[in-house]
Amino acid sequence: MAKELRVGLIGCGFMGRTHSNAYRRLNNFFPVEHRAVLKAICDTNEPKAQTYAATWGYERVETDWRKLVEASDIDLIDICVPNVAHRDIAVAAAAAGKMVGCEKPLAMNVAQAEEMVAAVERAGVPNMVWFNYRRVPAIALAKQIVDEKRIGRPFHYRATYLQDWTISEDVPQGGDALWRLDARVAGSGVTGDLLAHSIDTAMWLNGPITRVVAKTETFVKERKHVVSGQREPVLIDDACMFLAEFANGSMGTFESTRYARGRKNFNTFELNGADGSVYFDLEEPEYLQYFEYKQLQSGKKAESHLTGWRKIHTTNSEHPYMSHYWVPGTCIGYEHTFLNALADFVEGIESGKWTQPDFRTGLETQKVCDAVIESARTSQWLHIN
């Protein structure tokens, strides 16, 4: 009989839905030993939680996360609430011996992230940060290509993460979803919300970032706050650009904004090396572009008239994760990135080799985010410790 993975999920927002969907689908697609059981959904808004429980099939509703982390019928606490609450919940959950999953960014700042790492490592509990884009098959293929040493010496890493949903001055800050505009709850703006994804992907593919220099901008200086009803200063970064140096000697540029009219979730990267390049664009998520440069072998005529970028449709069963889904040529979507992440997490528990990115890896991304914000404030290059 299957072992149970009894889930207590905290937060009824957008991310809670993506995770709930993953728990429901896990056993339909992945032959893991554990069966995900949706035990409890927790939110301070009880009517919302009741509706959510009915929609997604949670057995019960809690309104106090402290009660949930102590509950004896929960194995995994999954944190899908605004960043300001991540630390307290994660530390308490680990102390109660629960496995812990946490949405990105791991914390409000490095100090909190370090407390979270210490808590899960002290307790010895499996833990994961939901950097879901690592689980896009095309991005996982890019990782495979890099690991196969097909890129050669890396020179450039170029990332963009662009959206446009906060351009109107009428968008308020605070409350459901819009907490992302409130620095006291989010920690930072696009740096923690969007660039954290780009930084996690970059360091996964191209190794540690050692130094950054950044410029941020807040285009709309005041917005109505949903909670106070007053116009209040906007303290998040609306846009952020930074230069980076990687430990392997390559250079990076990162750009993010919520003011790129027409760009909804434009998450791209390109890595250029001596022997090849890879390029990914989330608006065409099932494709990875790959340029392969092969040195001429002696005696063989160059076929330079045939060289060019290859656009790989990552839907074959040989491509990462795809053997779990449909037939070649049929793609999967955004929601599957969370399902793939969950499957990796569960397989990690079962094999004893816990999956990445764990909290310690999430801390490395947090260090870069904090350095970026501090560099923008002080207009200087900063080293990452």
Residues that bind ligand SOE (CB under 6 A): 163, 193, 265
Distances (CA, A) of 307 to 18, 151, 156, 241, 301: 40, 16, 21, 33, 13
The least CB distance from residue 185 to ligand SOE, in Å, is: 13
Residue 163 or 314 with smaller CB distance to ligand SOE: 163
What 3-state class would DSSP assign to 308? coil
Radius of gyration of the chain (CA): 21
The one-letter code for the residue type at 82 is P
DSSP bridge pairs for 253: 158, 243
Residue 163 or 173 with smaller CB distance to ligand SOE: 163
The least CB distance from residue 180 to ligand SOE, in Å, is: 6
Residue 218 or 265 with smaller CB distance to ligand SOE: 265
The least CB distance from residue 163 to ligand SOE, in Å, is: 6
Residue 21 or 265 with smaller CB distance to ligand SOE: 265
Residue 163 or 191 with smaller CB distance to ligand SOE: 163
The least CB distance from residue 149 to ligand SOE, in Å, is: 30
Q: What are the DSSP calls for 209-275, one per residue?
A: EEEEEEEEE-S--EEEBTTT-SEEE--S-SEEEEEEEETTS-EEEEEEES--TT-SSEEEEEEEESS
The least CB distance from residue 224 to ligand SOE, in Å, is: 19
The least CB distance from residue 105 to ligand SOE, in Å, is: 9
The one-letter code for the residue type at 281 is D
The least CB distance from residue 177 to ligand SOE, in Å, is: 8
Residue showing the smallest CB distance to ligand SOE in the complex:
193
Residue 5 or 332 with smaller CB distance to ligand SOE: 332
Give the number of other CB atoms < 10 A from CB of residue 31: 8
Dist. CA 89–CA 206, nearest whole Å: 32
DSSP bridge pairs for 129: 102
Residue 193 or 255 with smaller CB distance to ligand SOE: 193
- Which of the 8 DSSP states describes residue 287? E
